[in-house]
Each structure stands twice: as C-alpha cells, then as structure tokens.
Structure 1
C-alpha cells in the first residue's frame, strides 16, 4: 500500500531536489516556491538524459543530488530521449526500486505511464486545488502539512499551474509535440528577468520555418504561471495589432468607451503603470515590419516577447535572440512524435533531407504519417524531380526539396479533398499572412464560379476544407488558435469559422507557382470583386481606416491594376486617398506610381481616370514635398482639362486647386493665392457656399493668405470654414479638425495666444482619439499646441510636446519629410532658449540642409531657417557667422516674399541684433526703426512682432546716447506689451529686464 511506504523525511528543514522535464517547469517552480516558504532549500534539476547514456546511469547521477529527489511525473518526462517503456521499466527497477526512500514522486498527468513508475508512489496533483496539492506534496515528502500562519504566507510567487492567469487571451493551444529548445527557453527567461523595467523586450528572429511562434507559445506555457496577464497579439498588420491591444482594455477592467483608439490608450497606460497588474507578458507574433508597430510595444514593469523574421528590432530597444534550425537530435525527436510509424533512422534521414527546419518537418512528417510511402521513397522522389532551384526555390535559405515536398502534398490534397486545393488557390490571390476570406463569403452566390459556389455557401464543406488544410499545417484559422473548426452550421448572426485564415508566406508562393492558368483567371477575378465589394467608399473617414488597412495589402496580389473594371479603379483611388489621409505616404506613392504606369498603358494618357489618378497621386507626392514633380503633373492636367472641358469644369477646378497647392509648396504665394481665389469663386458659382468642395477651396485661400502674412484675413476665412465644416460634416471629421488647427495657428500668429491654446488643446485631445497619435494631422495639431504653449511661457508642457512630436514624426514620416522639418525647426528654437544649445545647433543644421535639398536655397523656408541658425551662432559666441547668416537670411527673405512680409520683418529684427553686436549701432537702429514702422503698418501697433521691433529700437537709441527718446519708446512699448500679453508674460518680463528681443521663423503648413 502506498500509505505504508517509508516516508522520505521525518521533520526539519530539508534540501529537496526537484527533477522535472522542461515542459513541466511551471509545476517545478510552484512546488519549489511552496517548499522554500516553509524554510526548505530547493535544487532544480531539469531532466534531459543524453542520447547514448543508459537511463540507469542518468538516474544514478540524479540520486547523487543532496536530500530527497522529488520527480514530477508526466508523459514528457518519459519521452525525452526518446526511450521506450521497456528501457524505463528496466532502469526504474534497477535504480529506484532498491532505494524507495531516496525518491518521491508527484504526478501531473492522467496519461498512462510506464508501469514501473509505481515505485515513486506518486501523489496525484491533477484534479485537486492549490491547498490540497500543497498538502499532498508535503505529505509525500514526509513534511508537516499544517497551514502556515498568515504572517508567513507572502503574496506573489508562481501561480498554481491549474489556476489560469487573471487575464489570458489569444495564446495558441500548447503544442504537445514541441521538442528541444531548452537552452533557448531558459535564455529567454533569464534575459527578460535580468532586464530593467521598460526594457524587458526580447525578439525571437530567424528564417521562416524555424518555429519562432511555437517557441514563443511554449515559453508562455512554461513560464505563464509567473504572470497575471498573458496576451497574444497577431502583429503582421498594424491595424489588427492596434485592435488586439485595444481588446485588452476590458479584460484589465479598465473603464473606457467603445472607441478602440481610447481603449488602446487606456491599455498602454495601464501596462506602463503596472496597474492593475504589474506582472504581464505581451507576445507580438509575426511582427516582421518593426517600423509599422514598434511604437505599439508597451513599456512598464512587464515583459514583451516578439517573433519576427526581421532582425531590425534591435534598433527598437529589443534584445535579439536568433532561433536556429533544430539540432539533429531535436529533429529526430520531433519527427518521431509527429510520425510515430517512422523509425529513428528514417527520422534522421528525413531531417537531413529537410535540413532540420521545424516547419518543413512538421508538414512533411505529418503527411508521411498518413501515407504508406516510405521515407526512402519520399527522399528519392525529391531527388528525381530535378527542378531548377533558381525557378522554384522560394529562398536561398531553403533547399529545393521544400517546393517539391509541397507538390507532393498538393497532389495528395487534390486526390482527397479537392475543395481544399480550390480554397488554397483562392487564398493565393490575397496577400500572405492574415487572409480575410470572409470577403469572398460576403459575395452573392450568383457571382461565384461553379468551382467555388458549393464550397463557399456550404458551411460544412467550408469547415471540412479548412480543417484538412490545418491538419497538414498549410493554414491556420486566425483567432481560434489550434482548436478544431467544428463542422456545424453557425448560429444565426454568428461568425462563420474560418472567416480569416493565416497562410505562411512560403506556402503562399508555392501555391501561386502551382496555379493552372484556368484557375488563375477565374479565382483572381473573384478576389477582385470581393475587394471591391468590401470598399467602404469613405476613405477620408477615419472610422473606415481599419477596413482600408485590411483591404490595401491585397491589391497587389489580386493584380487589381491589370483590369479595366470601374469598380477596381474606384477601389484603387479610394485606397490612395486612405493612404494619404492616414499618413501611409510611401505605400500610397508605390501604388500610385504603379497605377499610373498600368492605367496609361491600358487607357491612354488622356482618359478621365488618368486625371482622377493624377489628382490623388499628386496629393501624395505633395505630402512628401515633391512639389516640382506635382507642379508638372498638375499643369499638364490643368492645360488638358481646360482645353477639353472648359475653365469651369469641375475636374479642371480640382486640378487648378492642386496646382495652387504646388505653387504654395514652391514658395510662389502670390500666384497660388490668385489661382486659389479664382477656384473658390468658380466653386461658389457652380456649387454654392455649402458644398464640401467649396469649403476645401475656401480653406486653401486661407492657407495662401496666411503664407502671404495676411493673418487677419486668413483667420476670418478659417473661422467661416470651420463653422461650415462642423455643420456640413461633423465636429470630429478630419477636415473640421484641420480647420481647428488653422484657426489656432492664425490666432497664434496674431499674438492671441490664450485663444489659440484654448482651441488647440481641445483639438489635440480629439485628434488623438479620432485619428490616432501618429497620424500626420495629429502631429501637426500637437506641434501647433507646443508652439502656442512656448509663446505663453508654459515651457515644461511645450518641451514634452516638441520632443514627442519630432520623435514620432521622424519614425513615421522620416527625417526629410516636410512635416518633420517643420517640427524640427520648432524643436530647435525651443532647445536654443530652454534646452541644450548643442542639440539646437545639430537640429538646426539638419533643418537648413533638409529644406535646401528639398526646396532649393532661395525658398522662404531654408531662408528663414538660416535666420534661426544665426540666433544659435550668436548664443555660442560665433558672432561673425551669426551676422553673415542673419544678413543672408534678410536679403533672401526680401527677395522671396517682399519687404513688408512678417517673415522679412522678423529676419530684420534678428539682423539688427547682429549688427548691434558688431558695433554697427547706427545701421541696427535704422533697420529697427524701419522694421517697427513696417510692422505697425502691416500687423498693427500692438502685434508681438511690432512690439519686439519697438523694444529693439529703444535698445539701439540708448546705445546711441539718445536716452530720453529711448526711455519714451521703451515705456510705450512696455505699456503695450503689458496690455496685450500681460504684465507677467515672458515677453513683457524680458523687455523690462532689457533683454534684446529675437524672432523665430516658423515654417507654415502649405
């Protein structure tokens, strides 16, 4: 009887050795923690008997450990090696049976174990709760089982393995065939635990097929007991990744609205703070594009595990761990579990032929186990194919046998489940990765070809085909892990199983290569119709962007540019608009360029669709600052459309508006204003004042006025546009929000800082919720708020915004993007006055160089940036260079925009200071007097720029010895400053302390 067996220990502290298979580490950790709480010492020994070493010898070595040996019994413990039951029975009888008091056991499995394991008299822990499990462990070791006092039961420690984490989501079902990787799993664990909070990010990277996802999943199951939150995120697409993280918010008990942007923000804040859970693990699976999602990786006290083929995660504060192919022993063990009918020799031969890649081993061994073909025959078949690897080899990292093995598998599928092959071929016309095949299921049955109709409309056939593909590891059903898809009809209104599939890139390529011509033409047209039918038709509505984000990656694979279908043309144009408004500029430029080439070949150079495409393509080019290219495109369109349809044709007016935008980008503001004004008048005549196109034209006129320095007129027009957009569209519409930026900018440029801050602060909050924190328009809103706070004197808030906006813009848009250069100009000015002068200089030099490269040296933007650079040179003591820069900027700005433009007047204020520093006070005084007069005439007597010129004039008069005149000028300026900005405003305080004023050039939105 087990109860009569000799106890391992009687009492007192012990040193207990726990022997466990790596698969059961979670049990070892929990048992060890319970023993250590009672004052015992624990030694952990992972059981991994080496091949070639007799089991009896391995058990004798284990018996050398101090104290009793507690063995955690599971099927995994006895499969390592692998060894037969006969070997185990012999070794246990030889080593453990003669000394039963030396060993104890606990069982964590209900599976049958070798009969000789009875010598362990194992306590069963599989069906009991935590307290009873602890009691059984202690009793089996002969230790007291009395509960610990409350003051000796510290909180924390490993979770009881039978208790799930408080929050657990999306983790694939555990792979019971997982093999090896023990050192790598331990390295992951120790690397994460030794890293500092906020930097505990490990990326598992390697070639496709090495088992990165399986390794991450196994890590979750082995170490999951140490986390309160475990959340698995499919990270191959940004939109899906964001949504998945947002879904964590309600699981954490966070109180948020239904908007997923709000939930995402709440999730990230909660993870960063460690509230309500500090022990969390987030897994980003398939994150092959770090640039797309690195900003979504949470910071805080928890751990992040990433799987990716791309090692560039090292550039994003992640520690890299390469996942290699299996060792041969691991390959053999894996194959024997996947295909039990094979021998060890056959498994070794197969592993050698497939170069030890887990994905290939899984797919091939799984097929071989269901086949009567021998391994030698299979390998011979591979060798006999003789296919040119340059034609069929998917990657140089994979052998020729890989595509050949897939040919064998496809032949098998054709014979057994032809519907599965049809489904595979359909998937091949979507992008690899997550494939929304539900889009095909949403098509009317009469629009489907006969080969698909029965499969798509019959849920039983659909589920059977998907299950067969999953059985062969061809696809997986995204969102259901490895659970079987039940061959039953879905409940009314419920989602049909398999509505989104996941196909590996290599599989995707092989299926496309295997495609018969007749299937190609039929199936690609189905996918095209499905994508067109899924088009929400509202690319400017941010609520529709997740749908476009799902559609857009598939356009290339469905070859939508090689069709003259109007629906396909509309889809492409809408996707281009989505890419523009969501900030996906490079993807849009790639699509636009390819579309331009393809459509001109199909339709000719002057087809109406070409002008639609030109408009959207030019918008994207303009967004990245390629104004010369867009001007050429738009002038061609304007000339043709005016001649073909007349000046008042709507398509001509749209092209003319685009041309005006190009001219604004090129710094030709008077020309831009003339065209913009004419376009607005024409729209008002044709469409009235309340049409969205009229309001867009009105907005553009205001932009031109602002660039001309006519700020009051710009504000008046922007206020009207804002009111009408809020009424016609909605307050949270992207264009309404853009009008808020314009209104706030106008108010700030007029010196009405409090009004500007009031509208922009509220607008920033809405922008973040509606468009997301990284959208270019959101960045513009935050930058404008930073400039306003800077002017008000709220430096700490401004500093945080300046830095955050620039960092995100450089990451999302790139350093040379026009928006990034504007943000950098503002950051440089702020850093010069309130931060690091070296940083300010480095950024300023980049801005001058970037603007010069993008726009040319005579453009107002690089010219104004040189005026800012002069202030930095003055601050670091390089007065002569400061003088030369300031004079160059003044002359250049006069030539670019005229003598009375606010930018010219600002450059004059800076130039006058440099002249004064050189001792040329007469010239400085004359320049300041002229500037003050011009500024009063242009902007008004109490505008901040005018007041700066008046204060500077007083300083020059005092230097010239004209004290009475200087005091009078200064007193009047101080009174006006106090009345306009307030007695405690930084400008007023600086003037009272007789700090010479300066002017920062601010590049504007064009």
Structure 2
C-alpha cells in the first residue's frame, strides 16, 4: 500500500542530529524571546538555546521517567550520562527531556562536546546570555564566571552532547544543585556520572514511531518494517522519510532493503541529520580504520557474523583459524595473541559507536553490518566468509545433551546459522550445525529445531542426494523434532524412508540407524502397536548393550524406552524391576540431574503408579519435577510433562485442589509451547477434565516419555 507522512521530522528527534557517528558543527543560538517558556514575574527570563521539539517523538517513556527520577532526587549537581550505539537516539532523548521539563529550569544550555576545544567558546556564549560576560573572553575566564554563577543556583540544566571522554568534561562541570546530561557513544562514564544505556526501541515503540509518521501504514506493515530495520530509531526515521517522500509501498521498500541495503540507507535522510545512516556509518568506519587498523579488522569479522553478541574468544578463534595474511585481517596478526592490545582494539570498536562492547561480547547492528560488508570487495568478502565458515566448524561447545554446555551453544548458534550451513561445502560446519539442532531439541525448542532440520534436510537432499550421510543425519534430527511436536502424520513417511536408507547404507548397528529405529518404536506405541514397539525397543537395546555396554548413555536411553513398552504391553511389575535398575545406573553414570537420568526417574514414577505404589510414585514425581524445574526451567516441555505426571499422582492420592491449580498451569503452558493438538497438551486437558468431574479411584497414569 502507498504511504504518506506527517512531515520530515523523526521520532528520534528532528532538531538535533544523532550523536554517535552523526555530527554537526556549530551551536544552537539562543531562542527568540517569543519561543521561550513562560516565566513567573519574580524569576529571570529563561536562558536557553534548544532547537524546536520534535512533534513526532515516540516512545522512551521509561527512560525519560528514569532520568527525571534521578535528576530530581536532590543533593549536589546531578550528572547523568546517556550512552549507546550510533542511531539509537541519545541526542533526541536529551532534547525531549529538556523540552518536557523546561518549566523547571531558568537556564537550559546545549553544548556540542565532541570537540573539547570548542567547549570554552560555548561557555562564553552562555556567559553572555546569562549577563556575566560582556563579550567573548578567554575560556578560562568564561569557565570561572559561568561556574560561579551556576554554583549559587539550582534551576539550570546543561547538556553536553556527543562527549568523547570524561576527562574532557570534568573541568567544565559546575558545582551546585543544578542538572547535567551527557550523551556519548562510549560507556566509561561511571566515575563521573550515573549512566543510562540506551538500546534499540522496543518493537511496540518502533511501530509507534512509524505509524506516527506514515498515516496509511498498517500496524502489521510497521511491525514487519521495524523487524527488517532492527528497531534502530534513525533507520526507522529514515525509512519513514523516504516512504513519505517517494510514496513507495512498504513491500517494495523491504525488498529494496534486502537487495540494496547500503543504497537505500543512503536515501530518505530526515531533516536535521547531516548524513544518512549509510554515509555516517561509512565515515565512522573510515575514521576507525585510520585510528586503529586492528579494530577495523575486528569490525570486519563481526560484520560477517550474526547481529547478535559475539564472544570475544570467538573472534580470537576465528582470527587464529583464518589466514591473517588475508589483507583485510592482516592488522590482527600483531595483536591477536596479546590480550591487552587485543582488548584495546575491541574497545576501540565500541568507542566508535559502531558496536556495543560489553561483558566479553561485541554486538554490531544488522544494518551497520550490511553497510560494512558492502564496503568489502566481493572477492575478498567471499574469501573471508569461507575462512569464517571453516573457523566456526572448529568451535565445539561440547555435548549438546549436557546442560552445562547450553550457554556456549546459545552464544554460537546464531553465528552458525549466519554462515548459511544449508549451502556450505564445509563438512565440519555441517556437523556443528547438526549438533546445534540436538541442542535445540534437548533444550525444548522443538519448533525452531524442526524448522532448522527441515531446512537443512531439504537443502542437503537437493545438493548432495537423499543417501548422503549429512542428509540422512538431518532427516534423523527432523524425525526427532516431528516426534516432539506430535506431528506423526509427517513423521511416518520420513522415518520409513530414512530407516530403509540407513539400513542399506550404514547397517543395522550404526548409531544413526539405532536412533531412527527408536523413533519408529515411538510411532508404533502412539498407534497402539505396543507389541511391535516392544520388539523394536528390545532389539535396539540388545544391539546397544553389545556395541556400547550396559552403562553407555545411549544404552541407558534404550533401557528407559524399554520400561515404557514393557508397561504398555501389560507387564508393569516387570517394568518396575527394569526401571529401578536403570535409574540406579543412570544416577551412577550420569548424575542425578542429567536430562537422561531425569527421564529415567520420571518413568520410574509412572511405573510405580501403575503397580499401585502411589505414595512412592508421588514422592518420585515431585522430586523429578523439582529437578527439571531447576535444571531445565519452567517452560521446558520435559518440565511440563513432569508437571502433568505429578498432577496425575496427586489425583490418585486424592489431592484434587492443588492438583487442579497445577494442571491448569501445565495445560496453559503446554498449549503455548506445543500447541493445543499436541498429545501432551491433550493429556493435560484430559487430566483437567478428570479433576473437574471429581473422578475418584485410580486413573490411568498416562504415557511416559520416550528417549532416543
């Protein structure tokens, strides 16, 4: 649809420019008297030099409230430093604050602080406006006179915009009970001021910014565009200006943004900004390279990763595995093994306003990444991508089934996906991505795991053929995802095809074949073919005992599955004997909190319930629920399954009132995470119905959880 705007100003502020890597020269002149705020007769005329307020300023309510709370808390002169990435609207936030609270001040003065040598001239202009100086004087005199005047007063606000370093400002900060705001692209203001980090806009506020400026844009379109622009205020304002000026549809703009990112970000410059986002980022990148070539090399590496936090040790790993003779990375050769120099280069990237550097990570906004990538020669970019792919393949966070490795997997996952593993020729990268699917499945993120597995399976099948080992392994993980999501209609044809190919190519005893066979047993169990499920589980268990030994984690998983099929086949007492043995071995081999041990414990509870030992079944169910809650979190599907199991045991023990509350919570969370038609969600609904009908006596203990 066509869009039109209310005007050219942007919600990140129209009067003053974005201050990180977007700067102007000159200082706003004092406002004409007619434009100044009204003042009581017993107060002096206001002295201020702010540019007009942006009528379309959007969002930032919590940040403005926080600034007000801090500055109005009383005491000596309050200094608040607003810092953040380029384009997030620090200057605009300070301007909006000053306008909102102008009635509380007799003096509001804006000082461009990027060039510390120009502060004195601006203090002289303030002194003249205050009447304490007759003409431009030496900066030392101006500093003394202005500070002396402000020291004895409290209704004043000084704003130092785009300051570089605390030491540049320290001599200019007055004493007294007035207020000071600092905007800066750097974060090292803790010793001089309280700091407020400004991030990208929350999605709702980004949508508000767009809808304020474009009268005919829908909320859905605004949300899609905000997603594409990464909720960066300057980019949003620039897009709104372009759409309003040229009447392009949002759909077409989004397409151009994907295909010609840098070009379109050079268009639609909002009024009040000296540079477009593309031009400003390019200038800042050039300046960074001139000051610190190694810092620019770090930025280039991060530009080819995901727009998510990049651990600095990952940067080091990639650099060490890449050929540092590659010209674009060559400056890193001298510093990569020197921690102090390396950290200086990383810090310089953050100080440039092109990235956020914190807690051992570097984050570059996706639009800045695109602009930086566009500056690199295509042949060099292709070579750099290949080096990064190879390096990522060597990064091994560890066994994805081990919860201790999950923080590392969480950090590397977006960067693996950014390397486009579906189309890579790097075998190690494909292996690492398959492990990442297992991590997602073990963590309970079945839907993203299914999407990733399906994407890889389809791409690799087309690229390498259906019998390729990577294709078959992707199919194996896709089967797992379908099983967890309860999508048995999609699972059955895939599992039959995959298992046939694995048997023919890999043989019956291959680990991949055995995993797929275990999933086939699940299908038969869900269809009520308990005897066939038991036959398959027994066969897999015997093979794993022979190949791996009784205490191998895979063998223990097979034993856990066998417990279920034995109980389903009508032999719960025999299943109990097996369950108790498996649980003891799992605790000894894996530890009490390992996910596989928790699965064995959960199944032990079910079998205890099936044989009528309700007291012990309830105790075990409560224990495994508490452990899963602590280890996996309250939203993990396994935690929710344990929750439902605990509810069943509570019902069997007659604890209906607390059971109902817990069942309602479990059903609500399962419906959200797995969907209303998932077998586990339906099971929770059944339990709720049983409780609501106050059905007494022993009810079905339900199906236990199978593992691969």
* TM-score w.r.t. length of structure 1: 0.47
2:183 maps to 1:177: yes
Q: Hey, what does 1:30 align to over in structure 2?
A: 74
**Among candidates 576, 580, 585, match of residue 446 of structure 2:** 585
2:279 maps to 1:391: no
For the residues of structure 2 that align with 1:231 and 1:753, how far apart are their CA atoms? 55
For the residues of structure 2 that align with 1:177 and 1:797, how far apart are their CA atoms? 53
How far did 1:740 drift? 0.7
Deviations 1:465-522 (A, max 9, x none): 445433431112123xxxxxxxxxxxxxxxxxxx411111211222233332333233
2:314 maps to 1:439: yes
Structure 1 segment 661-740 matched on structure 2, within 5 A:
661-740=522-601
For the residues of structure 2 that align with 1:665 and 1:719, how far apart are their CA atoms? 24
How far did 1:550 drift? 0.8
Q: Hey, what does 1:469 align to over in structure 2?
A: 349
For the residues of structure 1 that align with 2:524 and 2:141, how far apart are their CA atoms? 77
The 1:640/1:84 distance shift into structure 2, 3 A limit, reads closer
The 1:399/1:759 distance shift into structure 2, 3 A limit, reads same
How far did 1:389 drift? 6.7
Secondary structure of the corresponding residue to residue 457 of structure 1? coil
* TM-score w.r.t. length of structure 2: 0.65
For the residues of structure 2 that align with 1:557 and 1:111, how far apart are their CA atoms? 56
For the residues of structure 1 that align with 2:454 and 2:385, how far apart are their CA atoms? 22
2:145 maps to 1:115: yes
Secondary structure of the corresponding residue to residue 177 of structure 1? strand
The 1:823/1:78 distance shift into structure 2, 3 A limit, reads same
2:435 maps to 1:574: yes
How far did 1:734 drift? 0.8
Give the conservation status (yes or no) of the 8 Å contact 1:392–1:403.
no
Give the conservation status (yes or no) of the 8 Å contact 1:440–1:527.
no
The 1:831/1:825 distance shift into structure 2, 3 A limit, reads same
Deviations 1:347-368 (A, max 9, x none): xxxxxxxxxx8647999xxxxx
2:635 maps to 1:755: no
Q: Hey, what does 2:358 align to over in structure 1?
A: 478
For the residues of structure 2 that align with 1:753 and 1:468, how far apart are their CA atoms? 64
The 1:409/1:1004 distance shift into structure 2, 3 A limit, reads same
For the residues of structure 2 that align with 1:530 and 1:588, how far apart are their CA atoms? 23
Give the conservation status (yes or no) of the 8 Å contact 1:726–1:736.
yes
For the residues of structure 2 that align with 1:361 and 1:806, how far apart are their CA atoms? 39
Secondary structure of the corresponding residue to residue 535 of structure 1? coil
2:415 maps to 1:554: yes
Q: Hey, what does 1:607 align to over in structure 2?
A: 468
**Among candidates 660, 669, 674, match of residue 813 of structure 1:** 674
2:688 maps to 1:827: yes
The 1:119/1:529 distance shift into structure 2, 3 A limit, reads closer
For the residues of structure 2 that align with 1:515 and 1:728, how far apart are their CA atoms? 52
Structure 1 segment 641-656 matched on structure 2, within 5 A:
641-656=502-517
Deviations 1:187-223 (A, max 9, x none): xxxxxxxxxxxxxxxxxxxxxxxx9x99xx99xx99x
In the alignment, structure 1 segments of 5+ residues that lack a partner are 1-15, 33-45, 51-57, 63-69, 98-109, 127-160, 163-173, 179-210, 225-229, 233-282, 287-306, 312-319, 328-356, 364-386, 480-498, 834-870, 872-985, 988-997
How far did 1:582 drift? 0.3
Structure 1 segment 819-858 matched on structure 2, within 5 A:
819-833=680-694
Secondary structure of the corresponding residue to residue 591 of structure 2? coil
Deviations 1:846-874 (A, max 9, x none): xxxxxxxxxxxxxxxxxxxxxxxxx9xxx
The 1:463/1:121 distance shift into structure 2, 3 A limit, reads closer
2:370 maps to 1:528: no
Secondary structure of the corresponding residue to residue 501 of structure 1? strand
How far did 1:531 drift? 2.9
For the residues of structure 2 that align with 1:78 and 1:647, how far apart are their CA atoms? 74
The 1:1001/1:309 distance shift into structure 2, 3 A limit, reads same
Secondary structure of the corresponding residue to residue 595 of structure 1? helix
Give the conservation status (yes or no) of the 8 Å contact 1:634–1:655.
yes
Q: What is the CA RMSD across the aligned residues, in angstroms?
A: 4.8
In the alignment, structure 2 segments of 5+ residues that lack a partner are 1-41, 49-63, 77-95, 114-118, 135-139, 157-175, 214-231, 239-254, 270-275
The 1:393/1:712 distance shift into structure 2, 3 A limit, reads same
For the residues of structure 1 that align with 2:237 and 2:646, how far apart are their CA atoms? 55
Task: Indicate the structure whose relative CO is greater, using CA pairs within 8 Å and at least 6 residues apart.
Answer: 2
How far did 1:653 drift? 3.0
Give the conservation status (yes or no) of the 8 Å contact 1:826–1:1002.
no
How far did 1:556 drift? 1.8
For the residues of structure 2 that align with 1:30 and 1:636, how far apart are their CA atoms? 73
The 1:360/1:592 distance shift into structure 2, 3 A limit, reads closer
The 1:393/1:795 distance shift into structure 2, 3 A limit, reads same
Give the conservation status (yes or no) of the 8 Å contact 1:93–1:116.
no
Give the conservation status (yes or no) of the 8 Å contact 2:210–2:237.
no
Structure 1 segment 55-94 matched on structure 2, within 5 A:
88-89=126-127, 92-93=130-131
For the residues of structure 2 that align with 1:663 and 1:396, how far apart are their CA atoms? 55
Q: Hey, what does 1:766 align to over in structure 2?
A: 627
For the residues of structure 1 that align with 2:386 and 2:212, how far apart are their CA atoms? 41
Aligned length: 548
**Among candidates 504, 507, 518, match of residue 657 of structure 1:** 518
How far did 1:769 drift? 2.0
How far did 1:86 drift? 6.6
**Among candidates 290, 293, 303, match of residue 428 of structure 1:** 303
**Among candidates 308, 313, 319, match of residue 202 of structure 2:** 308
The 1:409/1:121 distance shift into structure 2, 3 A limit, reads closer
